[in-house]
């Protein structure tokens, strides 16, 4: 059974699959306003860098449709406030800002709110569809790097649930499975939100790709004992120098992988690149303490316990063997190779 869509446009409204409830419940929540979409991104109803960007574009379209329906004379000001609210939802995934920047020329171009609303909706649907095609290309480029009979290790969820469909890291895994190269996948559970346990293992099981769930603490042991060929992860932001921000724990995995001679692949679309900064400058989101002091509402730490809960870390480029985009593969990424990759593709991230 294919993974259900994380994002769908139905009955003139946005519907988001509530990923907080997976895998036990498949529930779609309806959205009519940008502020609601921003809250859904913050609360992780929808998550994963490309899915966040697509949802934000739909959020802009929804707000414009609402303002058009209200014949709001202050629509320009109100739409600009909605953009600010969406931009404040999560700071690390650069796809959010990329999607909002894709909306900006339309805001400048259309003087009529009804026309603007239609144009924003068409853009959101286009970004959504394009993302699926981009991920298929990433998957195929990445799969070419996977040796026969491979076991691979993935972290968090960079799958269909995190994107318009197919996935980035899980796109590579899907393509490698299709090509008969995979013996199995190890999914790290990804504390505290358990994207690996709740989402990745579920998503791969739906596609009948053999997956084994493991706790993060088992990573070094498993890399020594089971010798995966690659660690394959997504990214929330790839910087100009090739450093990549991804789910907290990715940096640990890259260090462990280096020690055991396991290669590290980052699979990410052009929209995840931010060539205006280097890795140390990537903003890292801090999530609420309750995510680690509580499990499904039940305390698992002493009351008032101090916490650190960074949602992402930055893996230095020297620990990354390949970054795979829809345009191909950047081996041993660094500033110059990244610049050349996009120059060759004729695109400007
Ligand atoms: C294709 S998704 C890439 C990344 O966004 C993914 O690996 C990740 O870290 C998601 O974090 P999340 O906090 O679940 O949004």
| Per-residue pLDDT tens over the stretch 32-78 | 999 999 999 999 999 999 999 999 999 999 999 999 999 999 999 99
Q: Is the pLDDT of residue 243 over 80?
A: yes
Cis amide linkage into residue 192, ω under 30° from 0 = yes
Indicate the pLDDT class of residue 124, thresholds 50, 70 and 90.
Answer: very high
What interhelical angle do 34-42 and 75-87 show, nearest 10? 0
- For residue range 275-298, list pLDDT tens digits in order: 999 999 999 999 999 999 999 899
**Distance of CA 156 from the midpoint of ligand 1 (Å):** 7
Q: Cα-flanking dihedrals φ and ψ of residue 2, to 5°?
A: -70, 155
Half-sphere exposure of 308 (CA within 13 A, CB side): 5
One DSSP character per residue, 1-46 reads: -PPPPSEEEETTEEEEE-TTSTTT---EEEE-SHHHHHHHHHTTSS
Verdict on whether the full-model pTM lies above 0.90:
yes
Cis amide linkage into residue 238, ω under 30° from 0 = no
Q: Which ligand 1 atom is the nearest neighbour of the CA of 163? A: 1
User: What is the average per-residue pLDDT within 98-121?
Assistant: 97
Strand duo 150-154 + 230-233: pairing: parallel
Q: Which ligand 1 atom is the nearest neighbour of the CA of 195? A: 14
Q: Is 229 in the pocket of ligand 1 (CB under 6 A)?
A: no
Indicate the pLDDT class of residue 1, thresholds 50, 70 and 90.
Answer: confident
Q: Which residue has the tokens 């041993």?
A: 332
- For residue range 149-196, list pLDDT tens digits in order: 999 999 999 999 999 999 999 999 999 999 999 999 999 999 999 999
Q: Return the active site residues.
A: 236
Q: Is 158 annotated as a binding residue?
A: no
Q: Cα-flanking dihedrals φ and ψ of residue 226, to 5°?
A: -110, -10
Domains in the chain (CATH in brackets) are: 7-135 (1.20.120.420), 139-345 (3.40.50.10470)
**Distance of CA 150 from the midpoint of ligand 1 (Å):** 24
pLDDT score, position 139:
98
- For residue range 299-322, list pLDDT tens digits in order: 999 999 999 999 999 999 999 999
State which of 134, 138, 156 you would mutate to test the pocket of ligand 1, scoring each by most atoms of that ligand within 8 A of its C-beta. 156
Q: Is 234 in the pocket of ligand 1 (CB under 6 A)?
A: yes
**Distance of CA 103 from the midpoint of ligand 1 (Å):** 22
């Amino acid at each position: 059974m294919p993974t259900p869509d994380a994002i769908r446009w139905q009955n003139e409204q946005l519907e988001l699959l509530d990923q907080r409830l997976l895998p036990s419940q498949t529930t779609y929540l309806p959205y009519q306003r940008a502020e609601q979409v921003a809250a859904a991104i913050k609360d992780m109803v929808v998550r994963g860098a490309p899915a966040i960007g697509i949802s934000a574009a739909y959020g802009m379209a929804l707000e414009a449709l609402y303002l058009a329906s209200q014949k709001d004379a202050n629509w320009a000001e109100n739409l600009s406030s909605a953009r600010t609210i969406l931009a404040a939802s999560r700071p690390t995934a650069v796809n959010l800002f990329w999607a909002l920047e894709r909306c900006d020329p339309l805001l400048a171009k259309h003087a009529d709110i009804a026309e603007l609303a239609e144009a924003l909706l068409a853009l959101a649907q286009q970004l959504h569809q394009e993302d699926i095609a981009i991920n298929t290309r990433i998957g195929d480029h990445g799969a070419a790097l996977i040796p026969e009979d491979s076991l691979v290790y993935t972290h968090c969820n960079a799958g269909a649930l995190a994107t318009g469909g197919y996935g980035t890291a899980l796109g590579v895994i899907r393509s490698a499975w299709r090509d008969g190269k995979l013996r199995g996948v190890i999914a790290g559970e990804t504390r505290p939100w358990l994207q690996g346990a709740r989402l990745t293992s579920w998503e791969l099981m739906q596609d009948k790709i053999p997956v084994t769930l493991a706790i993060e603490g088992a990573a070094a042991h498993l890399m020594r004992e089971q010798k995966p060929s690659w660690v394959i992860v997504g990214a929330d932001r790839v910087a100009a120098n090739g450093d990549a921000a991804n789910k907290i724990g990715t940096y640990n995995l890259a260090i462990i992988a280096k020690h055991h001679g396991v290669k590290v692949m980052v699979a990410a679309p052009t929209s995840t690149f931010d060539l205006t900064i280097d890795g140390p400058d990537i903003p890292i989101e801090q999530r609420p303490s309750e995510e680690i002091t509580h499990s499904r509402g039940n305390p698992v730490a002493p009351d008032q316990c101090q916490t650190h809960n960074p949602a992402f870390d930055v893996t230095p480029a020297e620990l990354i063997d390949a970054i795979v985009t829809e345009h191909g593969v950047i081996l041993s990424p660094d500033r110059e190779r990244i610049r050349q990759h996009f120059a060759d593709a004729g695109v400007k991230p």
